[in-house]
Amino acid sequence: MKQLQIPIEYKTLKNGLGVVIAPDTAAPVVTLGVYYKIGFRLEPQGRSGFAHLFEHMMFQGSENAAKMQHIKLINSSGGVLNGSTMYDVTNYYEAVPSNALERVLWLEADRMRALKVDDENLKNQRDVVKEEVRVNVMNQPYGGFPWLDMPPVAFRNWANAHNFYGDFADLDAASLADVQNFFRTYYLPNNAVLLLLGDVKPDEGFVLAEKYFGGIPEGAPPPFADPAEPPQKEERRGYVEEKFGTLPAMAVGYLMPARRTPDWFAMAMLDQALHGGRAGRIHRELVLEKQVAVEADGGIDDIFGYNGPTQMTTRILHKPEYSSEQALAAFDEVLREVKEKGIASDELEQIKVKWRSDYYSTLEGGRGGYMPRYGLMHLLACFTLFDKEPGLVNSILDGFLNVKHDDIQRMADKYLRSENRAIVFRTPVSKDAKEAA
């Protein structure tokens, strides 16, 4: 068995900025990322959707690079860029020919130092974000299902339960003062990590990181609102109308153990037994064997990248001739079998091979052919921000490969309980739509 080892170097600048470098000179391409340890979980109450709106504002202008120059500079250097807001982190990243490394560093440092935006920029991006919400959620069949439908049903702490894309009234209420305040509070070198991957020599990379980021002053450690949930005692259910789609849908989410605990490693393997593609038990039973469902998939979303309550979620679109309760009963039957009999030893061995293979692919790519090493960047960032240990990227695989056969049944029994789950039913409202189709 050939184990992949990624060379990694890690330093922390005086202002608290973590710098992680993973060199690989095979192609003259460098991937650069800046991760801030703030996501939509901890955005201010009354400002749902703000962390994401703010992420858009980071492309609207900084001290020495006016609106559009961020985008122009990267594209005209032959590279691509984007950003994304997640539960507990927000990232900004670029992949460029390596001769553009220094200007990308300059750009990221410039917007870490000072954001320079006005009301017009805010109004513009508020409009853009609303269209983003419409195109991804409000005007799409099963839009936001279940990632926006599940939190208010499953969770009680506002941090975990609110609308992460934002209620339009909250987006409208967001002001320029909110933008600058959020920036001052969270967008600090001591709340961030810089990642340089690919065609960069570590020594030069650290010198450049110091040159561009070393002078940015650190700030007071950001407040950390505890996202812990009160204990759940019974199953929770919620109902959402489906405006466009033709099939009844449901999502079932089970609370996960904390990251990097022994249970967490074992749950990941159980998740693969249940959701691992067409060989996974849920797809196999519901779609291929019993043929109750048209789609049945799911898993633990971004397993390395969360830092608060999260779930393993199954998403099912089932045939209209079955009631929701019948579909749920078929799903429960799959879980009951694992709880009673566990899984076959051979099944676990297959899962481990597939897991290792998938892990390598995650490190190499993850955002299509134009964003090399996105996955490696993401894992290094999360392991640095949450664990202060980027080297986990090379060692964490063993934790999964060492899961024992008995652990699987034990996990199923311990976590796949009704008092540990929430269910969202998303039901088509329009009878007409169904008949017309």
Partner 1 sequence: MATVVTAEFSNMVPPLAPERAVTWPKRASAQLANGLKVVLAETHSIPKFHGELYFRAGNALVSERAPGLAEMAATVVRTGTTKRTSRQIEEDLRRLGADLGSSAGQDTSAISFAGLSEFSEPILDLVNELAREAAFPEAEFERERRQKLEEVKLERSSPGFLAGERLRKVLFGAHPYGIVSPSEKQVAAYRREDLLETYQEIYTPENALLLLVGDFDSAAMLKSIEKIFGSWQGKKPAAKESVAPPRPQGRRVYLVHNPGSVQTQILTGVHAITRKHPDWVRLGLTNSLYGGAFNSRLVMNIREDKGYTYSPRSGVSPLQQHGYFTVSAAVRNDVVAASLTEIFYELDKLRSVPVPAVELADAQNYVAGIFSMGLATQDGLLSQLSTVELNELPADYLETYRQKVRNVTSEEMLATARKYFDSANMQIVVVGERSQIEEQASLFGPLEVFDALGNTLS
Residues in 66-95 at the binding interface with partner 1, rule: CB under 8 A:
67-69, 71-73, 75-81, 95
C-alpha–C-alpha distance, residues 338 and 155, integer Å: 26
CB of residue 347 to partner 1, shortest distance in Å: 8
Among 103, 116, 414, 417, binds partner 1 (CB under 8 A): 103
Residue window 144-163: x/- pattern of binding to partner 1, with contact defined by CB under 8 A:
--------------------
75 versus 402: smaller Cβ distance to partner 1: 75
Helices then strands, counting H and E runs in the chain, come out as 17, 11
**Residue 148: which of 429, 426, 366, 417 has the closest Cα?**
426
Place of tokens 């962390």: 51
**Residue 258: which of 249, 268, 269 has the closest Cα?**
268
- Our finding on whether 391 is near partner 1 (CB under 8 A) is no
- Our finding on whether 24 is near partner 1 (CB under 8 A) is yes
Which structure tokens are listed for 362?
């995650």
CB 6 within 8 A of CB 363: yes
CB atoms within 10 A of CB 201: 12
Q: Would you call 257 helix, strand, or coil by DSSP?
A: coil
- Our finding on whether 101 is near partner 1 (CB under 8 A) is yes
CB of residue 126 to partner 1, shortest distance in Å: 8
Nearest-5° angle of CA 248, CA 166, CA 82?
Answer: 100
Footprint of partner 1 on residues 218-257 (CB under 8 A)? Answer: 243-247
- Our finding on whether 361 is near partner 1 (CB under 8 A) is yes
- Our finding on whether 131 is near partner 1 (CB under 8 A) is yes
CB 238 within 8 A of CB 425: yes
Among 9, 132, 167, 302, binds partner 1 (CB under 8 A): 132
Q: Residue 14: exposed, middle, or buried by beta-carbon count in 10 A (0-12, 13-18, 19+)?
A: exposed
CB 102 within 8 A of CB 209: no
DSSP 73: H
Place of tokens 């109004």: 123
- Our finding on whether 323 is near partner 1 (CB under 8 A) is no
- Our finding on whether 209 is near partner 1 (CB under 8 A) is no
Residues near partner 1 (CB under 8 A), total:
92
- Our finding on whether 12 is near partner 1 (CB under 8 A) is no
**Binding window for partner 1 (CB under 8 A); candidates: 169-177, 219-227, 349-357, 378-386:** 349-357
- Our finding on whether 258 is near partner 1 (CB under 8 A) is no
CB of residue 225 to partner 1, shortest distance in Å: 29
**Binding window for partner 1 (CB under 8 A); candidates: 102-110, 155-163, 176-184, 187-195:** 102-110
CB 146 within 8 A of CB 313: yes
Footprint of partner 1 on residues 165-194 (CB under 8 A)? Answer: none
Residue window 260-299: x/- pattern of binding to partner 1, with contact defined by CB under 8 A:
----------------xxxx----x--xx--x--x-----
CB of residue 10 to partner 1, shortest distance in Å: 22
Place of tokens 């009999």: 341
